[in-house]
Amino acid sequence: MAKKGKKDGAAEAAPKAIENISDEQLQALFFQSKKDFERALAVKKKADADFKNCCKRIKAELGKRGVEEIKLAVLLGDENGEADAKADIESTLRVMRWMGIPVGTQGDLFPDNDPTPITDRAFAEGRRHALAGDRRANPHHHTTEAARSYEAGYDEGQAQKVKGGIKPLGAEAPSFEVH
């Protein structure tokens, strides 16, 4: 005798659950479920279309690699994102080397200490926070040069947004409301 898999067991369990329901009740449940399914499917199709349109807009505005860059930024915002991104880069460089594509030389792709001066990193961080619409949250002590650099970067990012670097949300912005 062959063992029954989960699918066989599940198929046998389903009729037992509904055997005490009349045909009329079963028919009512069927049409109610059909309506729920159609509504959820319509929401899914609209969300899929909105997502595709968003990706098309990003490609038009940021270029062919825009979506990939945004995916990377989202990944880097994740708890383990930095390690995953570094692993992807190392893997890409390894395969490029195997395929004979020159990628330059560097002793250590990700050095333990960042050689970029802290003031430059603080400026870039402040500017990035402003452009992303994050609140001003200077992580540096207010008496340090890094704190002043962060503030200058944040101010520059805000100025860029004010001068028209960011377009306002319009009618083309996708709506993800569920009705």
Dump pLDDT digits (tens) for 52-100.
Answer: 999 999 999 999 999 999 999 999 888 888 899 999 989 988 888 777 7
In a domain, 105, yes or no: no
Q: At residue 166, does pLDDT exceed 70? A: no
Answer whether 0.75 is exceeded by the pTM.
Answer: no
Backbone CA torsion sign across 56, 57, 63, 69? negative
Q: How many domains does the chain have?
A: 2
pLDDT at 63: 94
pLDDT at 1: 47
Q: At residue 25, does pLDDT exceed 50? A: yes
Query: DSSP labels for 13-50?
Result: HHHHHHTTS-HHHHHHHHHHHHHHHHHHHHHHHHHHHH
In a domain, 120, yes or no: yes
Residues of the domain holding 151: 113-165
